[in-house]
Amino acid sequence: MGTTLFDLQGKVALVTGSTHGLGMAMAKGLGQAGATIIVNGNSSQKKIDDAVRAHEKEGIKAKGYKFNVADENEVMLAIAKIEKEVGPIDILVNNAGIIKRTPLEEMEVADFKEVIDIDLVSPFIMSKHVVKNMISRRQGKIINICSMMSELGRNTVGAYAAAKGGLKMLTQNMATEWAKHNIQINGIGPGYFATSQTAPIRVDGHPFNEFIVNRTPAAKWGDPDDLAGAAIFLASRASDFVNGHILYVDGGILATIGKPSNEN
């Protein structure tokens, strides 16, 4: 078997919210393992096109589709179009998400619902419509991108934590219902990663940077490429008997209670 366990040649992988950041890094990893990548975004066709070109420069086959993962009608049309133009979706990575940092007592109900819709309801919508063809083919991989907040709370991210905690349980229930069809549904829980979004708080001397470095046993922020191996594993034959599992890629955060800031 060897490395063929991780070979994704001939597979089609749809990664939602994959025009940048962690979604793009995971898509790149899947593409380097041989999969044809479907790049998804909803804010800008240019961002989608730029991501596709970046993959193609790496020798990765990629196509881009703009649609709103929280709109069921758009999802249904997009999936039908992808499967007609590219081929059956073998791998679905539910990565699209948002966060709104607001204390719960100050948060508008509309904002709370928006986070839930995108971070929790959209993985249900996407999976519901992709899995039907997976069931008929009796094979498929679904990877839900969970979070440290699937396990832990933190100030000002109550809506996000509620969604990601729900996504963990949705993952387990998907496995409960769909594993019998030879479909594996698992999650990845990223820790804290060095992305363009976290750049302003990763500077030396910033309190949150010091907190994360001190809180993480690996004593550093993750590199987005660190997620590629987890994504490839859960998308490949190597994980054919892994189901309902959340793989935390967090540098050890969940393994420890942490340490005082003055302790080496």
- Residues recognised as catalytic: 160
Cα 198 to Cα 96: distance, rounded to the nearest angstrom: 17
Q: Which residue has the tokens 């039907």?
A: 132
CA distance 78 to 84: 10
Contact status, residue 183 vs residue 139, Cβ threshold 8 Å: yes
Planar angle of CA 78, 91, 45, nearest 5 degrees: 40
Beta bridge partners of 126: none
Amino acid at 82: I
In order of 37, 74, 116, 163, the CA distances from 110 in angstroms are 33, 22, 10, 14
